[in-house]
């Protein structure tokens, strides 16, 4: 399951009939990161890699909260970094439609107050005719996700709060780096969808071990390679994950990852989709938990 990014030119909105811009779930999902479903999988993998998650009382509720938190920050990421805000803002700069607000008494036609009244009226018209019909659903999703993030991060503790803040910061960096064109950096997206959720799952139940930190980074790199269609970046992530497990004295995890991914690296098999990445992540987590 993956979602392709899709941005329509905002300039077309000014010429589209209002009724033609009805809510479309596919348009909403188009702004979310590809393979959003990997976030819950990464949380579960991180929790399993802690080795103590299943022994903790109430672990199912805690894990469910962590999964929902990861999905909430993916929604916030989509709102901030997955929308082509630059096109809509460029259209706003040229927007001339809309009646000015009622002027204050004794306001001169060529005064700053009259100009402000005109621009505020145009802003209201732009919001009603362009921004809200086109992006109202994703804005609502982002606001809801942010509210859920605040509540769940506070409930799960300081580690979850720091990771949630980190996810928002990554979205801010991504939107600046891509200049708001809705095509954020693939590695930053991988960190949001896979890396941070894996750390969240582990940190919710125990302190995060060095190998889990390194493997989460490797998973983000592999995700970026798959997203960009770059075998070199994908394979670099796979190799980094195997080396991280081996160098941090997790031989079983390293062996499992090597077994899963070596055929793809050596023979060039088509084991390079998000599903295969999820299998490797979960296999490492189970092997690490079993190996103590």
Q: How far apart are CA 265 and CA 31, in angstroms?
A: 31
**What confidence score (pLDDT) does residue 167 get?**
95
Cα 218 versus chain centre, distance: 17
pLDDT band at residue 8 using 50, 70 and 90 as cut-offs: very low
- Describe the chain by its helix, strand, coil percentages, rounded to 5: 75, 0, 25
Phi, psi of 14 (to 5 degrees): -65, -20
Q: How far apart are CA 245 and CA 219, in angstroms?
A: 12
Q: How far apart are CA 221 and CA 234, in angstroms?
A: 7
End-to-end CA distance of the chain: 32
Check residues 51 and 217 and name the one with the higher pLDDT.
217
246 Cβ neighbours under 8 A, 6+ residues apart:
254
Residue 92 has pLDDT above 50, yes or no: yes
198 near 45, Cβ under 8 Å? Answer: yes
pLDDT band at residue 172 using 50, 70 and 90 as cut-offs: very high
Tokens read off for 107:
């306001």
Highest-scoring range by mean pLDDT, 22-31, 151-160, 281-290 = 151-160
**What confidence score (pLDDT) does residue 190 get?**
94
Q: Which residues of 250-267 are buried (b: 16+ CB within 10 A; e: fewer)?
A: bebbbebbbebbeebbee
Say whether 19 sits in a helix, a strand or coil: helix
pTM score, whole prediction: 0.81
Per-residue pLDDT of 9-20, as tens digits, reads 444 444 444 444
Q: How far apart are CA 104 and CA 114, in angstroms?
A: 8
> Residues 272, 284, 184, 15: is their CA dihedral positive or negative?
positive
* Domain chopping of the chain, boundaries: 36-291
Highest-scoring range by mean pLDDT, 129-143, 149-163, 174-188 = 149-163
Q: Residue 17's CB: how many other CB atoms inside 10 A?
A: 6
For range 101-108, the mean pLDDT: 64
Per-residue pLDDT of 230-274, as tens digits, reads 888 888 898 899 898 888 888 888 888 888 777 766 766 555 588
How does the average pLDDT of the chain come out, rounded?
A: 82
Say whether 36 sits in a helix, a strand or coil: coil
Per-residue pLDDT of 34-48, as tens digits, reads 789 999 999 999 999
By CB atoms closer than 10 A (0-12, 13-18, 19+), residue 141 is buried
Q: What is the DSSP string of 96-113?
A: --SPPPPPPTT--TTSHH
Tokens read off for 251:
């031989």
What percent of the chain stands above pLDDT 70?
Answer: 80
Residues in the chain: 292
């Amino acid at each position: 399951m993956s979602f392709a990014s899709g941005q329509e030119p905002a300039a077309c909105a000014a010429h589209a009939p209002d009724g033609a811009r009805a809510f479309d779930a596919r348009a909403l999902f188009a702004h979310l990161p590809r393979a959003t479903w990997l976030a819950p999988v990464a949380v579960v993998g991180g929790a399993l890699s802690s080795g103590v998650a299943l022994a903790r009382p109430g672990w199912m509720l805690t894990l469910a909260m962590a999964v929902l938190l990861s999905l909430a920050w993916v929604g916030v990421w989509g709102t901030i970094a997955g929308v082509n805000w630059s096109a809509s803002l460029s259209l706003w700069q040229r927007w001339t439609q809309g009646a000015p607000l009622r002027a204050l008494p004794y306001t001169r036609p060529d005064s700053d107050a009259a100009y402000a009244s005109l621009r505020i009226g145009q802003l209201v018209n732009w919001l009603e005719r362009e921004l809200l019909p086109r992006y109202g659903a994703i804005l609502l999703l982002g606001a809801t996700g942010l509210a859920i993030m605040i509540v769940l991060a506070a409930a799960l503790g300081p580690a979850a709060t720091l990771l949630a803040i980190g996810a928002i910061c990554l979205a801010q960096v991504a939107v600046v780096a891509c200049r708001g064109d809705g095509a954020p950096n693939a590695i930053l997206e991988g960190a949001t969808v896979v890396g941070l959720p894996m750390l969240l799952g582990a940190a919710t139940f125990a302190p995060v071990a060095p190998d889990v930190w390194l493997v989460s980074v490797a998973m983000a790199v592999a995700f970026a390679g798959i997203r960009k269609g770059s075998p070199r970046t994908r394979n670099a992530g796979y190799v980094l994950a195997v080396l991280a497990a081996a160098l941090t004295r997790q031989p079983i995890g390293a062996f499992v990852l090597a077994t899963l991914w070596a055929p793809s690296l050596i023979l060039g098999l088509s084991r390079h989709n998000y599903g295969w990445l999820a299998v490797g992540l979960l296999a490492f987590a189970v092997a690490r938990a079993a190996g103590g």
